Amino acid sequence: MKIFQTDEIRNIALIGAAKSGKTTLAENMVFEGKIINRKGATEDKNTVSDYRPIEMERGISVHASLMYTLFNNKKINILDTPGFSDFSGDIVACLSAADTAVFTVNSQAGVEATSENAWRHAITTNKPVVFFMNQLDHNNANFDDSVHQLRDYFGDKVTPIQYPVNTGEGFNSVIDLIMMKMLVFKNGNGAPEIQDIPASEMSKAEELHNNLIEHAAEGEESLMEKYFEEGTLSEEDMEKGIRLGIVHRDIFPIICGAAKNGIGVTRLLEFIVNACPSPADTPAMVATNGKEFHNSVDEPAAMFFFKITNEQNLGDVAMARVYGGTIAESQDLVNPRTGNKERISQLLVFNGKNRERIEKVCAGDIISTIKLKDVRTCDSLVDPKIADTAFPAIVFPTPVFSIAVKAVNSQEDEKLGGILADFHKTDPTILSGMSRELRQNILQCQGEYHLNILKWYLDNVHKIAVEFTSPKIPYRETITKTAKADYRHKKQSGGSGQFGEVHLMLQPYYEGYTDPAELQVRGKEEYDLPWGGKLIFCNCIVGGSIDARFMPAILKGINERLEEGPLTGSYARDIVVYVYDGKMHPVDSNEMAFKIAGRMAFSAAFKNAGPKIMEPIYDLAVRMPEDMMGACMTDLQGRRAIIMGMDSDHHYQIIRAKVPLAEMDKYSTSLSSITSGRGTFTMKYAEYAQVPTDVQNKLLKAYEESKKDED
């Protein structure tokens, strides 16, 4: 393959709603570039990008795919992303590597729930957007309504540069507002026949053409002056203005087509080549140390790994965007994260599952490589001369769905842990780990559909049976009043026995608490507990009833009980302990005896000190369409939420509330159902608060039952 220079490269990410035709559009783009000689179809399970077994089975994109096409001696790297919100990690990763987002819109549906998700990620990554109004050959296609929706949701910068003449089953013609010609796609794929605009369309075309000229003139001051002087712009000037407007996100142009029949694809490719930025036209990429990279071959070699996939017979395949210099096979680079050298053994150009080797690539290109020793998503590889230079990590969406997972066969738990770690390697939005407190392996992902995909891999690829259950809630236990208790541990079994007696008092800890007047505190130790809250341990022994050398053992026994609270086995917190009396035996007293005595005395006092269970409370922000606010509010009230306020955001309302974590199990699924997929939410830990009495009684009963089952 030819080595393409920076200005000969275009990098696009195909984004948009599920079923809007991204994969079909990608197939036609590759076909037009003569990379393949026969078009595949999703229903035939033979497209370039959706080649994985799960994608062929489900009929949707599950993973992002890298491919390329050639047009007018330019190389266009294409990143085909999934449409469902559960796979947002791939959308964000691909947008980070692309220079332009080509946003497919189903002209039958307009702005859909997953359209809004794709748009949010394009905004977050600050990428230029070109809309491709797809499926105009369907009888229910409505171009004008779809444009109105796009403008309504995404702003007035959305501007048609084409409009269809004959939507529906016979669709094959568009008016091009830059060329001011009618393009007729008689055979679907291939270059259109260029005709004059019919008289019946001229008035509408001129009105839209003039509007487009105004948008183009805003791209540069000299163009604005020329527009004021001459009242119009040439086709060349319009393309220049539109190109600048796209780069600065001042215009979001709309191109028309029907990807399934190849209509409009050549014009889209031409527009990408002529009007969309090459890597040389994009803003500098700034490394974490402030060094700027301008996608120039004259800069030191530097590349950023935005995605890692696992391919059959290849293992891990790492996709990277080159930001500086040239990258060649057998080149040694440094990973700033580890400080270790990595050798580029192979450079591969991918088209779905097909690949070919290439000796060298230039700055601005997107490439894949294999057999790297220790490269993760968001790692950089750079010239050894700039070994401290790394690119900023991608900000991936926070998981919104949590579930506990374990292997049906406990002997496979370690294997399951390794598989989940591999999932995270290829999709950083998947998190997993063993919770010491909950004693569960917690899996976090982007939603229930995301989880179903992971389960498919566990069942069909890794052949491991797993069970999913709701995660336990990290409750806390505390006390609300003062109580005393004592415990004598005495054990005689031949020879030296065990003897220890501890008298102690508990009181709640809070800022500004005071010690009881009847006790003389001789020593005080304050501990910040790892799970939150305080333990204050006070030595009030007078007269040597317990030797000082046994106090650490008593404290150890109390700490053991704090780690498994007397009520539900949850962590206990915010307690002041006063050890004020006890007894020793000159022979039988030892540390073990006092540890047990301290633990049991603490348990007895705790149960008499007005014990309360505390639950984690989260700050919740729910964003939903304004007409769905009532249903969302009702649902939240059923979850014991306290509404703190509401805000407006265009067509949306945002409810802010405090809600117990215990009530949020599978909330992402419920919200999606209530809002038809348009609702989103964020959660952030706020505080611990006491549970209502009825809830506490249920928890106590459930804990008692679980203990019976264990016995």
Domain 613-695 in the same topology as domain 401-469:
yes
CATH of domain 477-610: 3.30.230.10
497 pLDDT tier (thresholds 50, 70, 90): confident
pTM, 2 dp: 0.89
Q: 308: Cβ–Cβ under 8 A, 6 or more apart, which residues?
A: 316, 317, 318, 319, 375, 376, 377, 425, 426
709 pLDDT tier (thresholds 50, 70, 90): low
pLDDT for the residue 31 = 95
pLDDT digits over 240-278, tens only? 899 999 999 999 999 999 999 999 999 999 999 999 999
Q: Is the pLDDT of residue 492 over 80?
A: no
649 pLDDT tier (thresholds 50, 70, 90): confident
pLDDT digits over 392-448, tens only? 999 999 999 999 999 999 999 999 999 999 999 999 999 999 998 898 999 999 999
**Angle between helix 591-607 and 551-563 (nearest 10):** 50
- C-alpha 541/C-alpha 537 separation (Å) is 12
The CATH classification of domain 7-202+249-280, taken from the options 3.40.30.10, 3.40.50.300, 3.40.250.10, 3.30.160.40: 3.40.50.300
Mean pLDDT of the chain: 93
Q: Is the pLDDT of residue 711 over 60?
A: no
DSSP string, 614-661: EEEEEEEEEEEEGGGHHHHHHHHHTTT-EEEEEEEETTEEEEEEEEEG
pLDDT digits over 609-638, tens only? 999 999 999 999 999 999 999 999 999 999
% of the chain beyond a pLDDT of 90 = 85
- C-alpha 85/C-alpha 400 separation (Å) is 11
pLDDT digits over 175-215, tens only? 999 999 999 998 878 889 999 999 999 999 999 999 999 88
CATH of domain 401-469: 3.30.70.870
Average confidence (pLDDT) over 507-528: 94
Q: Is the pLDDT of residue 495 over 70?
A: no
pLDDT for the residue 657 = 97
Average confidence (pLDDT) over 314-328: 95
Q: Is the pLDDT of residue 710 over 80?
A: no
Region at 135 (left for phi over 0; alpha for psi -120 to 50; beta for the rest): left
Residue 70 one-letter amino acid: L
Q: 293: Cβ–Cβ under 8 A, 6 or more apart, which residues?
A: 284, 285, 286, 287, 299, 302, 323, 324, 363
pLDDT for the residue 707 = 74
User: Does residue 324 or residue 566 have the better pLDDT?
Assistant: 324
- C-alpha 365/C-alpha 367 separation (Å) is 6
The CATH classification of domain 613-695, taken from the options 1.10.357.10, 3.10.20.600, 3.30.70.240, 3.40.50.2300: 3.30.70.240
User: Does residue 95 or residue 238 have the better pLDDT?
Assistant: 95
Handedness of CA 363, 367, 371, 375 (dihedral sign): positive
User: Does residue 495 or residue 321 have the better pLDDT?
Assistant: 321
- C-alpha 397/C-alpha 353 separation (Å) is 27
Question: In this structure, which topology does domain 285-386 adopt according to CATH?
Answer: Elongation Factor Tu (Ef-tu); domain 3 (2.40.30)
Write down the domain spans for the chain. 7-202+249-280, 285-386, 401-469, 477-610, 613-695
pLDDT for the residue 220 = 84
How many Cβ atoms from other residues are within 10 Å of residue 44's Cβ?
9
